Structure 1
Amino acid sequence: MLRIGVATLATLAAPALLSACSPAALAMPAFDSMASALKTLEALKRAAPRMAGAWDLSQVLHHAAQSVEYSLTGFPTPKPAWFRATVGPAAFSVFSARGRMSHALDEPIPGAPAIARGQPLEPAVDRVIAALQAFEAHAGALAPHFAYGALDKPSYARAHLMHLANHWQEAVA
């Protein structure tokens, strides 16, 4: 019984302890700021890499756009409240402290519509750029992240940039 109590206490305390860690600089220069991300994404209209993973570039961009859009409107299927209050914020704190995220790169956002392979690239580029610009212009409340829970705007921007950079690790020139 004591083991369960200690584990529960550690799980509940982890987000607070990890949030005290200073965030590292974002690891990938192409996505180290919103301006860099928008410039990188716009350049895809002239020259696009292929993706080495399970998803093609259009799928990745639509997936990233979904994430940004859902930060404004609400995620379709959030993790349980206990997860968004413990494990999720702890994971975000670790990612932020490292300046990079790691997640399954072929895992859709829970409850999001499937994204078909082989879609045209330019609409995907336009969608993710529009989503990031809408996020930047948004002055209202943000929806809780499906896993990380409540994030303020700078933290959400950081999450979106780390998310893009994580997927970009599969880009092949």
Structure 2
Amino acid sequence: MNRRQFIQASLLTPVALVLTSKLVATIRPYPLSEMLVQLRAMPAARLSSSGPWNVSQILQHCTQSIRYSIYGYPEARSPWFQYSIGKLAVNAFAATGKLHHPLDEPIPGAPALQPTLPNDVALRELIYTVQQFMDWQGELQPHFAFGSLTKAQYYSVHYLHLQSHLDEISIS
């Protein structure tokens, strides 16, 4: 391989990776309706958390995230971050089927989670909010880290976000 071929390959490889991950991300299904069925089947009184947040706080956090996609996030990362690192991250998460983030990190600017809110109340609110998002026909608000997303992209973000947090919840 000569120097010119090496430079071309070096420039084209990242572009190919980004395009491939975006393609895979759009093909992979993220059925929020199935997640809704799973949430409705959860026995609120028998749930426990293995993480630093209790079950109610986890459910409240997920509700906040989905609600903000409809009404707007209280704070946002810089446009540069959203349209560079944020876009790469959202496509990588959707392509791999895993969303990696600290599970006890609040949404920037969001009100504090209420540790004493009963699980059944937090679960009902999450179920309502997921259904509201699925039925939403209006414009969606930019994600605080990923920027403007289509509804399909938000489906993947919400599905993966719920999945990662629900992994900390078990039935006792």
TM-score (norm 2): 0.83
1:92 aligns to what?
A: 90
Does 1:146 pair with 2:144? yes
Which of 32-41 and 81-90 deviates more?
Answer: 32-41
SS at match of 1:86: helix
Q: What is the aligned-residue RMSD (CA, Å)?
A: 2.4
* Inter-partner Cα distance in structure 2 for 1:105 and 1:38: 20
- Superposed counterparts of 1:15-94, under 5 Å: 17=19, 19-23=21-25, 25=28, 32-45=30-43, 48-94=46-92
Shift of 1:95: 0.5
User: SS of the counterpart of 1:50?
Assistant: strand
Any gaps of 5 or more consecutive residues in structure 2?
Answer: 1-10
Shift of 1:141: 0.9
**Unmatched segments (≥5 aa) in structure 1:** 1-8, 27-31
Size of the aligned set, in residue pairs, is: 159
Structure-1 separation of matches of 2:63 and 2:113: 11
Name the % identity.
Answer: 36
CA deviation vs aligned residue, 1:54-100 (integer Å, no higher than 9, x gap): 11111111110101100001100000110011001111111111012
Answer whether contact 1:38 1:129 (CA < 8 A) is retained: yes
Instruction: Kindly name which structure, 1 or 2, has the bigger radius of gyration based on alpha carbons.
Output: 2
